[in-house]
Amino acid sequence: MSKYIGTPVVNLSVDTVDVTGDITATDSTPELILLNDTHEDTDGGREGKITFKGEQSGGEVTVLGQIQSSHDGTSDDQKGDLIFKTNDGSDGSSPTEAMRIQSDQKIGVGLSSNISSALHVNSEVSLGPDNNNRMIIGSTAAGVGSIGTIEAGTASFSTATFKGGNVGIGTSSPTVSNGKGLVIADATAARLKLCDTTTGEGASDGVQLGHSGGIGFLFNHENEAFQFGTNNAERMRIDSDGVLVHGKTAKSELTKGTTIELNSGGGRIVVTGDGSTGGALFLGNSTSGNVGLMRENGDFECINNSYTGFSDERLKENIEDSGSQWDDIKALRVRKFSFIRDEVDAPDKIGVIAQELEASGMSGLVSTNPDLSNPEETTKSVKYSILYMKAVKALQEAMTRIEALEAQNTTQATQIADLITRVTALEAE
């Protein structure tokens, strides 16, 4: 028979009450209140328990589980924990704590104290329909977190691991030198792949963007090359010797000791380093050969000897006639010299010295640049295109002076001829 607790309130003050059957509270706000009237502020004190018991087949009464509430902390306050305990079959009458809800609403599973996060599970967590097909999330005392899977009863606990700020796939010990990163490990073909897998993957390790046939960029271990591609075709590669090839797929297709070739639509730029020319930059196309060549010694050669620069009036402002360049050009010291790296026995070049040009007052023609071979040093260069135009202006001035002298000479010659005619006439008389 059921026992009812309703109005009036029934106070049970005895230590033990054995009730057979159900206990039902009938009220608009029914409550079951357990009051511990011991005055104490200890951690775990003021406890109250609901114990669940059952009888075994032999009639022995066993404790199956408990729900307990007790004081949280040692202060004179109202903080409380809610603790759930279960019997694993060996706990006797003292079941083991399985879960705790702290006074700060943090939940711990498998531990009884020091819950530092909203939910702390001191074991692995499984998600899945059954024991043979599930995802496992867990960690170890060594600080390794992992996400694993069990598929058809086969476990893989290194699907993803987290340690020291690194993420590992296929490895339980992800290590990245001098930083943090993602480590993918596999005995045959490790790959980070972002693609549509509707077609075969090929023999490659790397990153693919797009569908499986769209190369993106990847390392091909069949030919030991790092390949870059778009629109389902390779466009550039770095081969096993470190040669960068653009527009072709093998350095054997390149000529003149080419180390870099950019080839598209018939045009090309070739950077070469063969024994006959030294380092050089070729400009041209694949059908008519080179139209320009810049050598490592600074020489620039053009097939038609023509050089151009932007000079459109629409690109300029403050246009006016230049002043006289006569004195500047006269002050130039034209020198013969050789470059240190040329390793020649005698001067074989002609030009000016940047520092002497600055000293002559034409500092606007000199630029100071960082030395690429030594960042702490600088080198000076000359704006020869402007210097040439100054020379043109000075030449125009010289032509004007010559023309004036020619006109003066013509006048004087006419006067002399007229004088000779008069003298001749006088002599005839």
Q: Residues for the chain: how many in total?
A: 429
Instruction: Tell me which residue of 282, 212, 196, 206 sits closest to 237, measured CA to CA.
Output: 206
Q: Is residue 203 part of a domain?
A: yes
How far is 187 from 170, CA to CA, in rounded Å? Answer: 9
Find all residues with CB under 8 Å of 423, minimum gap 6, and list them. Answer: none
CA–CA separation, 365 and 385 (whole Å):
9
Answer yes or no: do 330 and 414 share one domain. yes
What torsion, rounded to 10 degrees, do the Cα atoms 46, 47, 48, 51 define? -160
Token pair listed for 17: 């009450």
DSSP helix, strand, coil percent of the chain (3-state; round to 5): 15, 40, 45
pLDDT in tens, 333-388: 999 988 877 777 788 889 999 999 988 888 788 988 877 667 678 888 888 888 99
> Per the domain annotation, does 4 fall within a domain?
no
Most confidently predicted of 207-211, 222-226, 425-429: 425-429
Half-sphere exposure in the Cβ direction for 412 (13 Å, CA): 6
Q: What is the pLDDT of residue 373?
A: 62
Determine, yes or no, domain membership for 139. Answer: no
Residues 289 and 381 in one domain: no
- Verify that 331 and 429 share a domain, yes or no: yes
The H or E element spanning position 172 is none
pLDDT digits (tens, 9 = 90+) for 133-183: 888 888 776 667 888 888 888 877 767 888 888 888 877 778 877 778 888
67 assigned to some structural domain: no
For residue 169, tell me if it sits in a domain.
no
* 330 and 297 belong to one structural domain: no
288's tokens: 């008519």
Amino acid 398: pLDDT: 92
Same domain (yes/no): 305, 335: no
pLDDT at 239: 82
**pLDDT per residue as tens digits for the range 82-115:** 999 999 888 888 899 999 999 999 998 887 777 8
Instruction: Mark whether 350 and 302 lie in a shared domain.
Output: no
Domain holding 298, by residue range, is 254-309
Q: Is there a single domain that holds both residue 334 and residue 394?
A: yes
Tell me, yes or no, whether 290 and 379 share the same domain.
Answer: no
Highest mean pLDDT among 232-241, 257-266, 269-278, 345-354: 345-354
Do 331 and 280 lie in one domain? The reply is: no
- Domain end residue (candidates: 210, 238, 266): 238
Question: What number is the average pLDDT over the span 43-65?
Answer: 91
244 in a domain, yes or no?
Answer: no
The structure tokens listed for 151 are 């598929």
Q: Phi then psi for 423, rounded to 5 degrees?
A: -65, -40
On the question of pLDDT at 64 being above 70, the answer is yes
Q: Which strands sit side by side in the sheet containing 192-196, from one edge to the other?
A: 192-196, 205-211, 216-220, 225-230, 233-238, 244-246, 258-264, 267-274, 278-285, 289-295, 300-302
pLDDT value at residue 339: 81
Do 351 and 304 lie in one domain? The reply is no
Give domain status of residue 160, yes or no: no
Which of helix, strand or coil describes residue 389?
Answer: helix
Task: Verify that 280 and 200 share a domain, yes or no.
Answer: no
Instruction: Judge whether 6 and 26 are in contact, CB under 8 Å.
Output: yes
Q: How many domains does the chain have?
A: 3
Q: Where a domain ends, among 263, 283, 309? A: 309
Give ∠ CA 112-136-145 in degrees, rounded to 5.
70
Distance between CA atoms of residues 301 and 292, nearest Å: 6
Task: With a cut of 90, say whether residue 122 has pLDDT above it.
Answer: no
Question: Is residue 410, in this structure, part of any structural domain at all?
Answer: yes
Radius of gyration of the chain (CA): 47
Whether 353 and 365 have beta carbons less than 8 Å apart is answered as: no
How many other β-carbons are positioned within 10 Å of the β-carbon of residue 44? 15
Residues 329 and 374 in one domain: yes
